[in-house]
């Protein structure tokens, strides 16, 4: 079977010839480009898919929202050294954020969030009330043709409004205090955001994507039961249903701790929980993922922490870990072997290439 045949078979609830192996190489590729080891434009080219073929890694598009954001308000963006600033000017106040690029890690992180307290909520509501979206499918169509038998085309919906605040626009500390200090205004703000996100989500569902992800970036110790049930479940379940009604597969990105939230997330009816991190990096061994998730038919995707592709883990430990994960995953067609969360910048190519050899040897069902 090809990687595409394997993943479509398991997504349909059937058993392929062996455990599918699909990895997110985007972060690694970004570092290779920054180090001039790969050319500019590499990730958008057909060569990127060929690279996956050569490495024996199934492909699913990461990080692509098939829509453009259109703001009907003043937006200012500027750079100061490694820092990127963004300012939104509204009649209800000015919002500013700053993200700093870290050269050693080839990534950026927020040093100033757009929303600092409940005082910023009115301006944020105004911003989303004056945000619209336009379909942007050209890249998705081009990528779908490039993929061939190497995988599937996956695109993103927006995050749930709550996770948009937690992960990007406010941070968990500001969200916690704002919800406690101004609960009614907080709920009103989430409702305004949802109205905007619903329009973008519909554009995503109507895109050429075969699978659609709500990129929540969940971690159980940060979200917890109350936040999930109060602010996230309804949004996820609504759009998981709409994705299914469109004949497509739904994904949730859960790349942190699992205990306490995995069963609830699986109960939404989502097709796949992706980027799952096992012990010793995460808090649940792969062997208990299935029973923890419950009787749901949700596919559990992940298993290899990114650090296992680096020199920080020995060759022996890397092989032992992948073999033990495959011993669990080959018991039933409910799993996809994947990276938790991404192959990192200091990955060793032979480690990435070696996963396919291990799957070919130890990934057949019923061994």
pLDDT tens across 258-287, in order?
A: 999 999 999 999 999 999 999 999 999 999
DSSP 167: I
Structural tokens at position 326: 């495959």
Tell me the backbone φ, ψ of residue 107, rounded to 5 degrees: -150, 165
Strand-pair partners of 252: 214, 273
pLDDT tens across 164-179, in order?
A: 999 999 999 999 999 9
Structural tokens at position 308: 């296992």
Q: Write down the pLDDT at residue 295.
A: 77
Omega cis (within 30) before 246: no
Omega cis (within 30) before 210: no
Give residue 241's Cα distance to chain centre: 19
User: What CA–CA distance (Å, rounded) separates 250 from 297?
Assistant: 13
Lowest mean pLDDT among 60-69, 170-179, 270-279, 307-316: 60-69
Q: Percentage of residues in the chain with pLDDT exceeding 90?
A: 97
CATH architecture of structural domain 3-71+130-362: Alpha-Beta Barrel (3.20)
Q: Which residue matches tokens 């907080």?
A: 186
- CA count, 13 A, side-chain hemisphere, 75: 15
Instruction: Sort 359 into a burial class: Cβ within 10 Å, 0-12 / 13-18 / 19+.
Output: buried
Is pTM, for the whole model, over 0.75? yes
pLDDT tens across 219-233, in order?
A: 999 999 999 999 999
User: What CA–CA distance (Å, rounded) separates 160 from 179?
Assistant: 16
Structural tokens at position 314: 């020995």
- Residues 6 or more apart whose Cβ sits within 8 Å of residue 105: 345
Is 336:10 a contact under the CB 8 Å cutoff?
yes
Q: Write down the pLDDT at residue 367.
A: 83
What are the residue ranges spanned by the domains of the chain? 3-71+130-362, 73-116
């Amino acid at each position: 079977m090809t990687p595409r045949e394997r993943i479509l078979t398991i997504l349909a609830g059937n058993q392929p010839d062996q455990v599918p192996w699909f990895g997110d190489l985007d972060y690694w590729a970004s570092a290779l480009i920054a180090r001039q080891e790969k050319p500019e434009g590499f990730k958008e080219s057909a060569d990127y898919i060929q690279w996956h073929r050569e490495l024996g890694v199934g492909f699913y598009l990461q990080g692509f929202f098939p829509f453009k954001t259109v703001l009907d308000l003043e937006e200012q963006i500027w750079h100061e050294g490694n820092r990127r600033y963004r300012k939104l000017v509204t009649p209800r106040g000015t919002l500013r954020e700053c993200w700093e690029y870290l050269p050693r890690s080839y990534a950026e992180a927020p040093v100033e969030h757009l929303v600092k307290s409940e005082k910023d909520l009115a301006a944020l509501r105004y911003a989303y009330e004056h945000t619209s979206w336009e379909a942007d499918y050209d890249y998705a169509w081009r990528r779908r043709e490039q993929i061939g038998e190497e995988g599937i085309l996956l695109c993103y919906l927006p995050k749930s409004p709550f996770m948009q605040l937690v992960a990007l626009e406010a941070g968990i500390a500001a969200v916690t205090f704002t919800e406690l200090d101004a609960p009614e205004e907080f709920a009103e703000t989430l409702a305004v955001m949802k109205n905007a996100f619903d329009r973008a989500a519909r554009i995503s569902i109507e895109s050429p994507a075969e699978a659609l992800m709500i990129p929540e970036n969940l971690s159980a110790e940060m979200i917890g039961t109350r936040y999930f049930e109060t602010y996230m479940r309804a949004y996820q379940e609504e759009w998981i249903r709409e994705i299914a009604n469109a004949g497509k597969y739904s994904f949730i990105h859960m790349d942190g701790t699992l205990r306490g939230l995995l069963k609830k997330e699986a109960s939404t009816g989502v097709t796949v929980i992706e980027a799952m991190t096992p012990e010793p990096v995460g808090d649940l061994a792969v062997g208990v993922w299935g029973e923890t998730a419950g009787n749901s038919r949700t596919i559990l995707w992940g298993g290899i922490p990114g650090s296992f592709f680096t020199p920080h883990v020995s060759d022996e430990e890397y092989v032992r870990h992948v073999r033990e994960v495959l011993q669990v995953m080959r018991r039933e067609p409910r799993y996809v072997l994947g990276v938790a969360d991404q192959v990192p910048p200091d990955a060793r190519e032979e480690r990435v290439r070696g996963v396919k050899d291990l799957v070919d040897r130890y990934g057949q069902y019923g061994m």
